[in-house]
Amino acid sequence: MTAAADKDARPARSASADGASEPLLSPVNSHNEWDPLEEIIVGRLDGATIPSDHPVVTCNIPPWAARMQGLAAGFRYPRLLVERAQQELDQFVALLESLGVTVRRPDEVDHRRRFSTPDWSSRGFCNTCPRDSMLVIGDEIVETPMAWPCRYFETHSYRTILKEYFRGGARWTAAPKPQLTDELFEADFRVPEAGEPMRYILTEFEPVFDAADFMRAGHDLFVTRSNVTNRMGVDWLRRHLGPGYRIHEIKSRCRTPMHIDTTFVLLAPGKVLVNPEYVDVDHLPDVLSSWDVLIAPEPRPIDERLLKVTSMCGKWLSMNVLMIDEKRVIAERHHTDMLRALEKWGFEPIPCDLLHYAPFGGSFHCATLDVRRRGTLESYTD
């Protein structure tokens, strides 16, 4: 075990009644995307509010959704959308529990309440996707400095759980809270056309990143630069984690990049699922040279008109799967070609419905944060 692994595995200590120091076994332990899953946080739909029409929000979502959002920002999501998503979310939670996974939930929050900093004010969004706001590295949970103003206080709804984990021995870190002033955003930003040089709405004014732009494989993390994650954010995390970890950038051809888990998804040791539209497989990091690169099949079209015009996500949400262990994987029932491909590649897909969660920002991977997986810190790359 390396020195970094020793540091990561070292238990926290607490004082007993007689003053002696006793080790605490952290309730948080997750080093990769595939070790056997024991405990997970699942998001909540209660109080969900249509996000603001700030340019950093609208540049990331499909144009039709952005137009509707501009008219409805700050209002509650329509009951019809919430009820359909809630039914599927409840079934997903029941499935996880039937597989022996402990499921934790954030507090209910009225996201329509307005809040402010000295520089701006906003209403909230929702806490449907814990994957975005928190990053688990070993026994540490890092609250991320997100770029959307409407998500500024989103992690407060998880504080009950975070404090419990901290008292139990977990490490709990909050990245520097960003100011999110105009200096962070490119004025008059325009999404680049195909063939144009890539550009992003974010400047390097301060570090910002979403946890969902990272994938974990023990000592190695993979990241996509995006419209919510800048280089300064990646640099902050690299320095915070120290020499025991390496962070590799995955270049995305997506013109509106946001979150790695519909582009590049780690499934098991030596196996990675990639989006053929966004990723050039000939230019993956060298550390993946011995890995099997699995090409995601074309997603099955979604015919439901209401879902097509309200989804905040692209068609490749079919890749947003959740590993229960190295073999079992929860995947969207609608995407039958993906289910067949996973089975062909030697996995055991577990079909589940979560298609109507897309208006709230994601699917199985986005909607969760794996807090504890049974495993240790290892290296899986060359």
Task: Give catalytic residue positions.
Answer: 210, 259, 366
The answer to whether 359 and 301 are in contact (CB under 8 A) is no
Spell out the SS3 assignment of the chain.
Answer: CCHHHHHHHCCEEEECCCCCEEEECCCCEECECCCCEEEEEECECCCCECCCCCHHHHCCCCHHHHHHHHHHCCCECCHHHHHHHHHHHHHHHHHHHHCCCEEECCCCCCCCCCEECCCCEECCCCECCHHHHEEEEECEEEECCCCCHHHCCHHHHHHHHHHHHHHCCCEEEECCCCCCCHHHECCCCCCCCCCCCCCCCECCCCCCCCHHHEEEEECEEEECCCCCCCHHHHHHHHHHHCCCCEEEECCCCCCCCCCHHHCEEEEECCEEEECCCCCCHHHCCHHHCCCEEEECCCCCCCCCHHHHHHCCCCHHHHHCCEECCCCEEEEECCCHHHHHHHHHCCCEEEEECCHHHHHHCCCCCCCEEEEEECCCCCECCC
How far apart (Å, rounded) are the C-alpha atoms in residues 325 and 322?
Answer: 9
Question: What letter represents residue 127's amino acid?
Answer: N
How far apart (Å, rounded) are the C-alpha atoms in residues 20 and 26?
Answer: 18
